[in-house]
Amino acid sequence: MTRVLRAAAVILALAATLAAAAPAAAGEPDATAPAYTLALTGSDHGFRWTGRETLTITNPGAAPLDLIWIRLWGNGPRGCRGTRAVRISAVAGATAGDPAVSCTAIPLRLAAPIAPGARGSVAFDVEIRVPDVHDRFGHGRNVALLSNAIPALAHLEGGAWRLDRYFASGEAWTYPAADWTVRLHPPRGIAVAAPGVLQPDGTRKLERGRDYSFAAGRLRRVRGDVGGVAVTVWGARGRWGKQLEKVMRIARRRLPQLAALYGSYGWPDLQIVVTEDAGMEHTGMIMSPPLDFVVTHELAHEWWYALISDDQAAAPWLDEAFATYSEEATGAQRRPWCRRPGPEAGFVTRPVDFFRHRRRVDYGVIYYEGACLLDVLRKRMGRERFGTALREYALAHRYGWSTATAFRAAMDAASPVPLADLWRRYRVQ
């Protein structure tokens, strides 16, 4: 998600807060290898979707797996109050328990436990009602934005289910790479902006995708080929005019630059939804206003989140700082984020929970001060050496996982000078 730069954070009393907070570990999800098959039919001009979802997973553990958790992140903003935005019902292959974590999680007790190394499936009906709010999951000025609205497998880490709380200022979801087969039937006159390769049977296939999000409405589009990637820019009819062509020009410029920095883009297609109501990244799709630095930031997330993922709840800087740095590295921002670490450097590696109730510390610090860390590394190591090391790191973790430990080790191995003082300053462990 794109940062919103606010007034400078209050510096008084930060030292005590820094001393009290320890960096969170960033854990990779267990190898459940999820596969989703989903068929949804739209109504109410694309603001309501119903259908059936099947989830198939592998049991990566040494004991039979008899319980899984499903996340309903679309319920995060309102929790259990009023009509829930996302519901599942008619579960097959399991028995559903009571909703938990403000109705963003539901346990499913499997009818037949999955043996170690084996695969098993559950299926359920899905109902999604897009909330009447201007947000990433909401009404984008007559366009339905369905960011992270589809029910998805929870984060299994070390054999234990992690049920992180929704975080409105950023992201708390964490996804292993999954294969998605999705069929969307919009109402008459409604178009769908959705990622994945369209198949002859009308389904879309998205391989190794972290999430599946889409938008629907009375849309117009501009299509183009950018280095072999089929790019489609979408916007509400009668609203954006020449802005769609502007965003396509940005994509034509920035996608090749990002590929030069981090390796080739990871999917055959890319959807860009132009909206004032979200700056948001998804696999094969972004939502963004028609501003160069915002579009570039969200495009960079197609690498730092979608291709090279991370624990967004425990270590959000591992994608947000890198996407923010990419604004500068591509020229969308004209100046370096800093020349030396600032007084808030020690907050960069904090988890999202750290920022929930701390008004004196802006969540934006992980963006701008995190990008500053990469600026300082580039200055210390030398532009060419740092650029090569960062690209090699991205390629080594492609479709995989990034952690602070792995990034630190890669930079230490490539650097001609010691970096220990920087790691201490930024609390990178």
Same domain, 180 and 135: yes
Q: What's the pLDDT band for 16 if we cut at 50, 70, 90?
A: very low
Q: Are 227 and 245 in contact (CB under 8 A)?
A: no
Higher pLDDT, 12 or 156: 156
Same domain, 19 and 51: no
Sequence-distant (≥ 6) Cβ neighbours of residue 264 within 8 angstroms? 227
Same domain, 21 and 62: no
Question: Which of 196, 211, 226 is the endpoint of a domain?
Answer: 211
Domain contains 272: no
pLDDT of residue 353: 94
Q: Which region holds residue 203: left if phi is over 0, alpha if psi is between -120 and 50, else beta? A: beta
Hey, what are 5's tokens?
């730069």
Same domain, 64 and 159: yes
The span from the CA of 186 to the CA of 259, in Å, is 33
pLDDT of residue 83: 92
Sequence-distant (≥ 6) Cβ neighbours of residue 365 within 8 angstroms? 9, 344, 347, 348
User: Which range among 72-81, 94-103, 137-146, 334-343 shows the weakest confidence by mean pLDDT?
Assistant: 334-343
pLDDT of residue 61: 96
Higher pLDDT, 352 or 19: 352
Q: What's the pLDDT band for 1 if we cut at 50, 70, 90?
A: low
Q: Are 49 and 40 in contact (CB under 8 A)?
A: yes
Q: What's the pLDDT band for 10 if we cut at 50, 70, 90?
A: very low
Q: Which domain, by its residues, includes 39? A: 32-211
Same domain, 37 and 19: no
CATH number at residue 162: 2.60.40
Reported pTM: 0.93
pLDDT of residue 340: 84
The span from the CA of 141 to the CA of 392, in Å, is 41
Whether residue 125 is predicted with pLDDT greater than 70 in this model: the reply is yes
pLDDT of residue 360: 66
Same domain, 67 and 21: no
Q: What's the pLDDT band for 260 if we cut at 50, 70, 90?
A: very high
Nearest to 261 by CA among 217, 323, 202: 323
Sequence-distant (≥ 6) Cβ neighbours of residue 26 within 8 angstroms? 310, 311, 314, 315, 318, 402, 403, 404
Same domain, 353 and 382: yes
28-50: pLDDT as tens digits: 899 999 999 999 999 999 999 99
CATH number at residue 366: 1.10.390
Domain contains 294: no
Whether residue 7 is predicted with pLDDT greater than 90 in this model: the reply is no
Average pLDDT over residues 8-20: 34
Same domain, 43 and 103: yes
Domain contains 379: yes
The span from the CA of 195 to the CA of 209, in Å, is 10
Whether residue 361 is predicted with pLDDT greater than 80 in this model: the reply is no
Measured over the CA atoms of residue 224, residue 267, residue 334 and residue 384, the dihedral's sign is negative
pLDDT of residue 395: 98
Sequence-distant (≥ 6) Cβ neighbours of residue 390 within 8 angstroms? 261, 262, 374
Whether residue 85 is predicted with pLDDT greater than 60 in this model: the reply is yes
Same domain, 70 and 207: yes
213-251: pLDDT as tens digits: 999 999 999 999 999 999 999 999 988 889 999 999 999
Q: How many domains does the chain have?
A: 2
Question: Which of 211, 240, 262 is the endpoint of a domain?
Answer: 211
Domain contains 266: no
Domain contains 391: yes
SS3 46: helix
pLDDT of residue 3: 45
Question: Which of 211, 245, 266 is the endpoint of a domain?
Answer: 211
**Enclosing H/E stretch for 192:** strand 191-193
The mean predicted confidence, pLDDT, of the chain is 92
